[in-house]
Amino acid sequence: MTREVDAKDLRVVIIGAGMAGILSAIKLEEAGIGNFSIYEKADRLGGTWRENTYPGIACDVPSHLYSYSFAPNPDWSHQYSPGAEIQAYFERVAKQFGVDERIEFGQEINRCAFIDGRWHITTSAGIKDEADFIIAATGVLHHPSYPEIAGLEDFAGALFHSARWDHDVPLDGGRVGVIGNGSTGVQITAALAKRASKLSLFQRTPQWVMPQENPAYTEDEKQAFRAHPESLRALHEDISNLFAAGFANAVVDADSELMKGIEDQCLANLEENVSDPDLRERLRPDYRAACKRLVISPDFYEAIQKPTATLVTEEIERIEPGGVRTRDGHLHELDVLVLATGFKADRFVRPMEVIGRTGKRLDEAWADRPSAYLSISVPDLPNFFMLNGPNGPVGNFSLIEVAELQFGYIQQLIDQVRSGECRSLSASARATEDFDAARVEAAKKTIWTTGCRSWYLDDRGVPATWPWTFDRFREEMAEPDLAAYDFFD
Ligand code: N01
């Protein structure tokens, strides 16, 4: 016979106070599960938006979509708002919903062990806690990737990764080098070409660039949003549907007309907006658009054509105290060197030690590469659920929308415990293997496998992302297939 569990007898630990951790707290409270804590290793909430503060930072998902569905914001300044505004939005929402008071700052969880039906948690500061559930909201692009370039430590000027920006370093009138031309490097270049006396962008591989204008909202528009909150909800829905039916569908079908249209727009941008034929050829990629994460910028080409800017395509030989030496022997003298070299996208909850019900460590389970059923649950890690976990839909949707859908799914798993069906549950090994095999097969049709290097690809060259449509993701998240789960008492 099943016996219902009172919600107040369930304790949840949320790891991380970024976008997904804040969301989890709000949704748990709403579901009557008020006994939870959020552990955050930093001293401030915000995750990605706390860590990435580089000049020019903005989100390339429209702001009215990159907002919680339950907390629309009539005051977004732009269609694609700057990072600081997004950070302020998360701080405001966390305050509004009383989440900020529930965060244990400066507490990095370094160990979670499932013992006798509960999770035992230890933080680096020595705090111990126990919980029935863990929600890992630890982010995706979180661990900076530092390039292996000889002499990096010899540089005499200021050197930092784009996600560790040193705001004490003066930029105006200085000689700035940027290694990397992904979404980050391109935004930094566009912002700094007008400030530095000399801006050198070190490009290893050219990027396709989608020219997306970024108009500011007028005061009248914002006033109309404030007066009619329902119009904001409709706008959220409309943009979501446009995204799902457009770009998100195109990338999972490399042969689609939609994909061709995106390529045509990028090509026209290059042909029409870069006037010097030599520069144009050096900026022209030899792989398909959106094979790498598509770079969106209204002003990158304009910036790289400024007299202050230089596109360096010679291979970097080494870093020297005075700057970057390229293979042609030229020393690019610099005061500041920015590493816009991306992130280790395969870390997820690691380096945290996670020990499941059989005593097996997550690091062993993920020895080859990370995997999880529907990117949420790992076999034998009962009641341990991830938001934006391995192989999930990253890069082409609003990660807020993704996390909201995933949380709705996780909530239904928690309900299994609440209703007394089991004490804990995790995806079965079989379901996880089948899911993994299906996604690897489906990935063959996607644009990401058409021949380029990118952070989407795992060590085998398989895209570690959702290879189906967004509609399919929505359907999968609507209701768990409980046959895919092992139930434990
Ligand atoms: O990182 P990346 P990112 N020598 O991995 C180069 C999101 N995001 O921080 O292409 C020389 O894309 C590397 O060269 P190559 C978004 O999902 C969103 O820019 O591998 N170069 C590449 O140019 C994005 O995709 C927004 O040849 C080296 C760059 O470094 C993701 O974050 C803004 C090198 C890394 O590009 C990551 O973007 C920012 C080496 N040894 C980020 N090693 C928006 O919303 C690496 N590179 C707009």
CA 258 – ligand 1 centroid, Å: 24
Which pTM does this prediction carry? 0.96
Ligand 1 pocket residue status of 59, Cβ below 6 Å: yes
CA 182 – ligand 1 centroid, Å: 4
Ligand 1 pocket residue status of 323, Cβ below 6 Å: no
The two most distant CA atoms of the chain are separated, in Å, by 78
Average pLDDT over residues 183-193: 98
Ligand 1 pocket residue status of 340, Cβ below 6 Å: yes
Handedness of CA 255, 258, 260, 263 (dihedral sign): negative
Indicate the residue type of 355. I
Mind listing the pLDDT tens digit for each residue in 99-139? 999 999 999 999 999 999 999 999 999 999 999 999 999 99
CATH of 152-213+242-339, one of 3.40.50.2300, 3.20.20.70, 3.40.50.300, 3.50.50.60: 3.50.50.60
Among residues 323, 273, 303, 274, the alpha carbon closest in space to that of 186 is found at 303
Q: How far apart are CA 393 and CA 335, in angstroms?
A: 39
Ligand 1 pocket residue status of 149, Cβ below 6 Å: yes
SS (H, E, C) the chain: CCCCCCHHHCCEEEECCCHHHHHHHHHHHHCCCCCEEEEECCCCCCCHHHHCCCCCCECCCCCCCCCCCCCCCCCCCECCCEHHHHHHHHHHHHHHCCCHHHEEECCCEEEEEEECCEEEEEECCCCEEEECEEEECCCCCCCECCCCCCCHHHCCCEEEEHHHCCCCCCCCCCEEEEECCCHHHHHHHHHHCCCCCEEEEECCCCCCEECCCCCECCHHHHHHHHHCHHHHHHHHHHHHHHHHHCHHHHHCCCCCHHHHHHHHHHHHHHHHHCCCHHHHHHCCCCCCCCCCCCEECCCHHHHHCCCCEEEECCCEEEEECCEEEECCCCEEECCEEEECCCECCCCCCCCCEEECCCCCEHHHHCCCCCCCECCCECCCCCCEEECCCCCCCCCCCCHHHHHHHHHHHHHHHHHHHHCCCCCEEEECHHHHHHHHHHHHHHHCCCHHHCCCCCCCECCCCCECCCCCCHHHHHHHHHCCCHHHEEEEC
- Ligand 1, atom 6, residue with closest C-alpha: 180
320 forms beta bridges with 323
The answer, yes or no, to whether residue 1 has pLDDT greater than 60, is: no
Ligand 1 pocket residue status of 205, Cβ below 6 Å: yes
- Ligand 1, atom 9, residue with closest C-alpha: 342
Any idea where the domains of the chain sit in the sequence? 7-45+99-143+344-488, 152-213+242-339
Among residues 264, 244, 205, the alpha carbon closest in space to that of 466 is found at 244
The answer, yes or no, to whether residue 277 has pLDDT greater than 60, is: yes
Average pLDDT over residues 168-183: 97
203 CB-near residues (< 8 Å, 6+ apart): 181, 282, 311, 312, 313
CA 368 – ligand 1 centroid, Å: 23
The encoded tokens of residue 68 equal 């919680």
445 CB-near residues (< 8 Å, 6+ apart): 252, 253, 254, 255, 467
* pLDDT at residue 245, as a whole number: 87
The encoded tokens of residue 396 equal 């082409």
Indicate the residue type of 79. Q
Q: How far apart are CA 92 and CA 9, in angstroms?
A: 30
**Is it true that 7-45+99-143+344-488 and 152-213+242-339 share their CATH fold?**
yes
The answer, yes or no, to whether residue 22 has pLDDT greater than 70, is: yes
Ligand 1 pocket residue status of 182, Cβ below 6 Å: yes
CA 138 – ligand 1 centroid, Å: 20
CA 106 – ligand 1 centroid, Å: 28
Q: What is the fold, at CATH topology level, of the domain defined by 7-45+99-143+344-488?
A: FAD/NAD(P)-binding domain (3.50.50)
The answer, yes or no, to whether residue 428 has pLDDT greater than 60, is: yes
Among residues 121, 124, 154, the alpha carbon closest in space to that of 355 is found at 121
Ligand 1 pocket residue status of 326, Cβ below 6 Å: no
Q: How far apart are CA 151 and CA 324, in angstroms?
A: 9
Handedness of CA 282, 286, 287, 290 (dihedral sign): positive
Confidence class for position 453, pLDDT limits 50, 70, 90: very high
The answer, yes or no, to whether residue 91 has pLDDT greater than 90, is: yes
Q: How far apart are CA 386 and CA 390, in angstroms?
A: 9
Q: What average pLDDT does the chain have?
A: 96
Instruction: Please give the number of the atom of ligand 1 that sits closest to the Cα of 181.
Output: 23
Average pLDDT over residues 224-232: 95
382 forms beta bridges with none
Mind listing the pLDDT tens digit for each residue in 385-421? 999 999 998 766 899 999 999 999 999 999 999 999 9
The encoded tokens of residue 269 equal 């941008």
Ligand 1 pocket residue status of 184, Cβ below 6 Å: yes
